Chain A
Amino acid sequence: MSDGVTRTDLEHWLQVFAKQVEDNKELLTELDAAIGDADHGVNMDRGLKAVLVALEQVPQATPAALFNKVGLTLVSTVGGASGPLYGTFFLRFGGAVGDEEPVPATQFAAALRAGLDGVVARGKAEPGDKTMYDALAPAIDALDAGLAAGEVWADALTRAVDAASAGREATIEMLARKGRASYLGERSIGHQDPGATSAALLVASANEALHDCA
């Protein structure tokens, strides 16, 4: 037990996220084929691999620098809508996470919130639009609520994972109102949103990598 999350822990989170996306590449692409343009898994996998290469080539000294690099790399390599959305998430996360380490649990949660606000600003998504927001927002709400109630970090993170999974499942019955899926109208109902699916992986990977930190 330490006082927070170190830069090394945060890098580990990114490695686990990249691994989970790689393992679920086919699933993400299949989900996207049903209501989008069948490239979400491939695009995210390419972008996260580029992130790992970039971080290996030029190690970043602080948490803020680390996530700034992650965000810019994703913006440059992912393309489509996911590039700007995940890129903005990590850029804003980096802006809020600060230069100091370890990062206290509450500041980590605040950085996630800043990232989410960036996603909303970039994508104009609202709750129930069947987007990554619908998995990410409940997870961050749950994390905040857990921490506010004095739960230990590990329990609050577990709660966030459950909320992200529930949010992801809830997108199945939603009618898409953003992105290419929105052109399908009613026909988008019954399909799980690929963006919410990758966002749930982001939360799950945070739990896997950071469960015993902070």
Chain B
Amino acid sequence: MKKLINAPEDVVVDALQGIEAAHPDLRVDHAHKVIYRGDSPRNGKVGIISGGGSGHEPLHGGFVGLGMLDAACAGEVFTSPVPDQMLAATKLVDGGAGVLHVVKNYTGDVMNFEMAAELAAAETGTQVVSVVTDDDVAVQDSTWTAGRRGVGVTVLLEKIAGAAAEQGRSLEQVADVARTVNANGRSMGLALTSCTVPAAGKPTFELGDDEYELGVGIHGEPGRERRKLATAKEYASLLVEPIIADLPYAKGDAVVCFVNGLGGTPLIELYVLYNEVAKILDKHGVQVARSLVGSYITSLDMAGASVTLLRVDDELMSLWDAPVRTPALRWGI
């Protein structure tokens, strides 16, 4: 295992110290592993927190800042944070207007956030609403499983709901916007390689030199099938067509097209993929209103990419375009 770390057991703690050192706008509650805005809590503003296992950076800590998240809880690598952490984050950002919890749909995350919301209500009376993202179309029989996984849409949701909260909307309005984003977004990814969890020291799964995993999850969960390597054109088709068919996206729809790297894939390859994705969308008459290309929700050092489409109307677009100032997303300011 080759990694820029001091010791596997210190990765999360050391990275949090690095984030604090690099970004003076942010604060870190090291005891609870919570990254939060230095100006928290903001009176009268709905607080938005998220969190999850570490290893998906910049998600979630890199999205803390003006116009996006108020706080993010960092779990151990690929392990949900515990309720104490979400409770601490909720208290830190509660400005009296309630707190939105953005939760990716994984069994552990959902349960831990649920307990945190119960504790918050019991201890402080803070009003908490949770919105769960579940956009991964690779999980097909979702009625009989833990359901679809929350992936790329989470990034777009945090941006858009964050803008809504920044405008001073109520908790219920912000939650509605968040639910709308989740309902209109779909994603799918593929892995060219596995990833290596520092504590494990070896790849999470085996993948032949001539194979890739179509529909992989962001923790290396198995996808739809394992196939022989192909071209970017074919990868784009295998990712985008199931997404389009699922919602479905129709001719004339405007979308945010998000091509995301999983951590070990260079940007140049993401642009090669984006080019193919854009051609397919054009063929379907789906209009790309905005794009986002880069590694924003990753799986440690996994090579691969995911595609997320979000159908947007004028309101979602204006929230997307609203100013944001976080370590990983920054515009309009």
Binding between chains A and B: yes
**Chain A residues proximal to chain B, CB less than 8 Å:** 37-39, 43, 75-85, 87-88, 122-123, 176-180, 182-185, 187
B78 adjacent to A85 (CB under 8 Å): no
A–B pairs, 16, beta carbons within 8 Å? A38-B200, A39-B79, A43-B79, A76-B84, A77-B82, A79-B79, A84-B83, A122-B111, A122-B114, A122-B115, A123-B107, A178-B146, A180-B106, A183-B217, A183-B221, A184-B222
In the docked arrangement, what's the CA distance between A127 and B159, Å?
40
User: Which B residues touch A176, using CB under 8 A?
Assistant: 145
Residues of chain A within 8 A of B219, CB atoms compared: 37, 180
What DSSP secondary structure best describes chain B's contact surface?
loop
In the complex the two chains form, is A85's CB within 8 Å of B222's CB?
no
Q: Which residue of A lies closest to B106 (CB)?
A: A180
Shortest Cβ distance from residue B96 to the other chain A in the assembled complex, whole angstroms = 27
Q: How far is the CA of A118 from the CA of B75 in the complex (A)?
A: 24
Within the complex, the shortest CB–CB distance from A133 to chain B, in Å, comes to: 13
Q: How far is the CB of B268 from chain A (nearest CB, A)?
A: 31
Whether A79 and B112, one on each chain, are in contact in the complex, defined by CB atoms closer than 8 angstroms, is yes
B115 CB contacts on chain A under 8 angstroms: 75, 84, 87-88, 122
Considering only CB atoms, which chain A residue lies closest to B143 in the complex? A177
Given contacts A75-B82, A79-B75, A83-B82, contact A182 B145 (CB under 8 A): yes
A84 touches B112 (CB 8 A): yes
A84 touches B145 (CB 8 A): no
Q: Beyond the given A38-B200, A80-B79, A182-B146, could you list 18 further A-B residue pairs with CB under 8 A, ordered by the A residue number?
A: A37-B78, A75-B82, A75-B83, A75-B84, A75-B115, A76-B82, A76-B84, A79-B80, A81-B107, A83-B82, A83-B111, A84-B115, A122-B114, A179-B107, A183-B149, A183-B222, A184-B222, A185-B145
Q: Which of B65-111 contact A (CB under 8 A)?
A: 75-76, 78-84, 106-108, 111
For A182, the closest partner residue in chain B by CB is: B145
Chain B residues, CB < 8 A from A37: 78-79, 219
Q: Are A182 and B144 in contact (CB under 8 A)?
A: yes
**Residues of the A chain whose Cβ atoms lie less than 8 Å from the Cβ of B146:** 177-180, 182-183
Inter-chain CA distance A77–B85, complex, in Å, is 11
B209 at the interface (CB under 8 A from A): no
Contact A79-B82, Cβ < 8 Å, known A182-B146, A185-B141: yes
**B155 within 8 Å of A (CB atoms):** no
Known: A37-B219, A79-B80, A83-B82. A180 touches B107 (CB 8 A): yes
Which residues of chain B are near A187, meaning CB under 8 Å?
Answer: 222
Query: B257 within 8 Å of A by Cβ?
Result: no
Taken together as a complex, chains A and B put the C-alpha atoms of A177 and B106 apart, in Å, by 13
B26 CB–A CB distance under 8 Å: no
Nearest Cβ on chain B to A2's Cβ, whole angstroms: 36
Alpha-carbon distance between A78 and B79 when the two chains are bound, in angstroms: 10
* Alpha-carbon separation in the docked complex, A38 to B221 (Å): 12
Q: Please, which residues of chain A bring their CB within 8 A of the CB of B76?
A: 79
